[in-house]
Amino acid sequence: MTSVAAIVLAAGQSRRMGAQNKLLIALDGQPMVRRVVQTYVRAIPGPVVVVTGFERDRLQAALTAMPVSFAHNPAFATGQQTSVAVGLRAAPDAALLLVGLADQPALTAKELDALIARHRAGDPEKISVPMREGQRGNPIVIPRGLRARLTHSAGQPGCKRFTRDHPQHVQFVEMATDGFFTDIDRPADTLAFLSRQTEPMS
């Protein structure tokens, strides 16, 4: 059993971005999905599983030569919860499992390290959810003891429903940085992210 593993969800249809698959948009010269997965690979000591769905072949090509494994969700059009379930079943045994999104390019390895440390400093038997001013963020941290509970319901698998229905198994971890709360859904989000990247340092 490894100490920490991760699932990165990259199966969505990117409808709000228009004709372009947002995960393949170039950021700093590389596809967004590669940038995000690279962050997890740098931070996580154990395996990283990427869940694919929409444009599976293109996503896998964008991650060529990276030390990750893939799990495909053929039912990706039915919603993110099915991709979470596919990832949970494919991920290796681990004391802690991070479940994150492939559209969070502002996230850094340092932030992931901080989240894991905050989880361990709290109640390590609970699911840790980043929180800032009432806003929930990603990724979340799932302890080994609760992992099976997330796929127990065939009709409603996944994390969001479980964490809302079972608050006794959840702890909200205050995280101040933007990486946990910034995702890219629309063209305007991409422009805003790129503009922040080019802002001069104060």
Q: What tens digit of pLDDT does each residue of 64-107 get?
A: 999 999 999 999 888 888 899 999 999 999 999 999 999 999 99
**Domain annotation for the chain: domains and CATH numbers:** 2-195 (3.90.550.10)
The better pLDDT of the pair 111, 165 is held by: 111
Residue 1 above 80 pLDDT?
A: no
**CA 100, 10, 192, 16 torsion-angle sign:** negative
Q: What percentage of the chain reaches a pLDDT higher than 90?
A: 67
Query: Strand runs (DSSP E) across 65-190, as ranges?
Result: 69-72, 94-101, 127-132, 135-136, 140-143, 170-174
Residue 50 above 80 pLDDT?
A: yes
Residue labelled with tokens 């802002």: 199
What residue type is 109 in one-letter code? A
Distance CA 46, CA 41 (A): 8
For residue 109, what are the contacts with CB-CB under 8 A and spacing of at least 6? Answer: 39, 40, 42, 43
The confidence score (pLDDT) of residue 201 equals: 35
Distance CA 120, CA 143 (A): 10
Residue 154 above 60 pLDDT?
A: no
The better pLDDT of the pair 1, 84 is held by: 84
Cis ω before 200 (30° cut-off from 0): no
CB atoms within 10 A of CB 169: 17
Q: Give the distance, in angstroms, between the CA of residue 64 and the centroid of all CA atoms in the same chain.
A: 19
The mean pLDDT of the chain is 88
Distance CA 135, CA 182 (A): 11
